[in-house]
Amino acid sequence: MVRNQINVDLYARNAELAVRNKTLSLLHKLDQVTLSTLTTEEMTGQITATLAKEFLYPFVGIGVCDKRQSTFEWMSIACPDGKSTICERRAYQKSFSLKTIHNACTQVIASHRRAELSSLHKLLEPVIEKQLIDEVSTKGQIKSVLVFPLIVNGACVGVLAIGLNRSKKDLTKYEQDTFTPLLGLVTIALQKAMTYSSLVETTKKLRVANRRLKELDALKTEFLSIASHQLRTPMAAIRGYVDLIMDGSYGKLSDQQTEVVGKIHSSVEGLIELVGQLLNVSRIESGKTVLTIEPIDIVAIATDVTGFLSIKATEQKLNLVLTPATVVPVMGDAAKVKEVLMNVIENALKYTDQGGVTVSFVDEPKAVRVNVTDTGIGLDKNGIDRLFQKFSRVEASAANHPGTGLGLYVCKRLIEAMGGEIWVESPGLGKGSIFSFRLKKAPTALQKTQKTV
């Protein structure tokens, strides 16, 4: 008697545990589906199939809302054997407006409350043919339909609908225990799938936009190159003739004429410089600039450049000083490094009214840093951030200091192509600037490589 009672008690406990175990096992199965599938169609397909098979429900459906377009669409419908026509995608792959009044889905979505129906018709019409609805209803002996809203962050994103061959009160304990966690899991799965679908769509659009931008960029570069070449020839002719006029080849000029012709001359010089820079930029951006990277003596190059620009500095009554240093060779293209130094030091002289410019070197562990320090107009944070961008000019100075806004952009591209860095620092407006760039020290085994930028 006692043994029997023990058996009975143990059985009852076991039975409860068995139900819980089944619930957990099902949820785990669905969890695996969530983890292993990405698209909404695939995920909802697997979930509905699993539920239909597990609980032998004659009908299981998941539908989602598209709030932007105010429509609802069935993503997946399943039955235990998967053979009814209604389970085929083409049978239900049609969306309908959320404003459709006599449809249970739209009512559940609007109210965020579950509904219990006596037949599938109110759920599935007008999207699915009446004949198909009758077929699955008869085959499955559907007596009731439960419709659950799927809610994410307070918004209803879809519904889970279950057709039963009995009434709701005849649900097993297993089913009742499973519904709540099941709904939560389905909601999360759906949210994940919808997020993924949205990401895929956005990525596609970005890819198209990116391709278009690249095409436009290539067109722009090509245009720049053609235009620059076309402009060079006539400007060279203009400069030539202006030089001849200034030389007196066409007769002596009055003071006024000299002044005017002088202005023409400097304008043409500026245009020629602009075209040259544009050509430089277009060559760099189209990958046509070839750099010869080899060990170079940066102090020697800097000495050359400062020597060349010392005349200009003297004309402006500025000091141009090179601090002597002994540093190891660095890896770079000598001609391009010279171009960079020329640009940076010329800039420094241009934007300095009094005092001067100093070129110095710092021996770092793996690189050599070159500093070009001036006592000029300085930069604020806004200016520093934009300085190395194309066509960027410091606003306050643009009117007084003509320029293309391309020089520093070209310097940056060239230095970076050589594996270096370039940057600027300034204590503030009116307090001068330090333009710096660093290039890596040459390895002990000297190497010469060619690189296309």
Partner 1 sequence: MIATAQLVERIIKEQELVIGPLALREARKVKGLTVKTDGGVKLTGSNKKVLGDLVKQYEKLFGPASLDVCREAVKALLPQVAKEDVPDILK
Interface residues with partner 1 (CB under 8 A) are 4, 7-8, 11-12, 14-15, 18, 21-22, 55-57, 141, 143, 165-166, 170-174
CB of 125 to partner 1, least distance (A): 24
> How far is residue 216's CA from residue 221's CA, in Å, rounded to a whole number?
9
List, as one string, the DSSP characters of 103-126.
-HHHHHHHHT--EEESSSHHHHTT
C-beta of residue 50 within 8 angstroms of C-beta of residue 43 = no
C-beta of residue 164 within 8 angstroms of C-beta of residue 22 = no
Looking at beta carbons only, is 7 or 180 nearer to partner 1?
7
CB of 21 to partner 1, least distance (A): 7
Looking at beta carbons only, is 93 or 176 nearer to partner 1?
176
Distances (CA, A) of 238 to 223, 231, 264, 441: 23, 11, 9, 45
CB of 82 to partner 1, least distance (A): 17
Looking at beta carbons only, is 143 or 386 nearer to partner 1?
143
CB of 163 to partner 1, least distance (A): 12
CB of 60 to partner 1, least distance (A): 13
C-beta of residue 379 within 8 angstroms of C-beta of residue 387 = yes
Give the pair of three-digit tokens for residue 248. 């007196």
Strands 71-78 and 59-66: antiparallel
Strands 356-363 and 319-322: parallel
Distances (CA, A) of 13 to 165, 175, 179, 240, 397: 29, 18, 22, 105, 87
C-beta of residue 227 within 8 angstroms of C-beta of residue 74 = no
CB of 132 to partner 1, least distance (A): 20
- Give which of 107, 111, 39 is closest to 75, Cα–Cα: 39
Looking at beta carbons only, is 39 or 165 nearer to partner 1?
165
CB of 18 to partner 1, least distance (A): 4
CB of 16 to partner 1, least distance (A): 8
Q: Given the structure tokens 């100075």, which residue do they identify?
A: 397
Looking at beta carbons only, is 56 or 335 nearer to partner 1?
56
Looking at beta carbons only, is 50 or 191 nearer to partner 1?
50
Amino acid in the structure at residue 165: N
C-beta of residue 143 within 8 angstroms of C-beta of residue 163 = no
Q: Given the structure tokens 């990525």, which residue do they identify?
A: 203
Looking at beta carbons only, is 143 or 265 nearer to partner 1?
143
Amino acid in the structure at residue 410: V
Looking at beta carbons only, is 7 or 85 nearer to partner 1?
7
CB of 211 to partner 1, least distance (A): 54
CB of 14 to partner 1, least distance (A): 5
3-state secondary structure of 143: coil
Q: Given the structure tokens 């002994």, which residue do they identify?
A: 326
Strand order in the sheet with 449-452: 330-332, 290-296, 449-452
C-beta of residue 325 within 8 angstroms of C-beta of residue 361 = yes
Looking at beta carbons only, is 7 or 203 nearer to partner 1?
7
Looking at beta carbons only, is 99 or 166 nearer to partner 1?
166
> How far is residue 384's CA from residue 8's CA, in Å, rounded to a whole number?
83
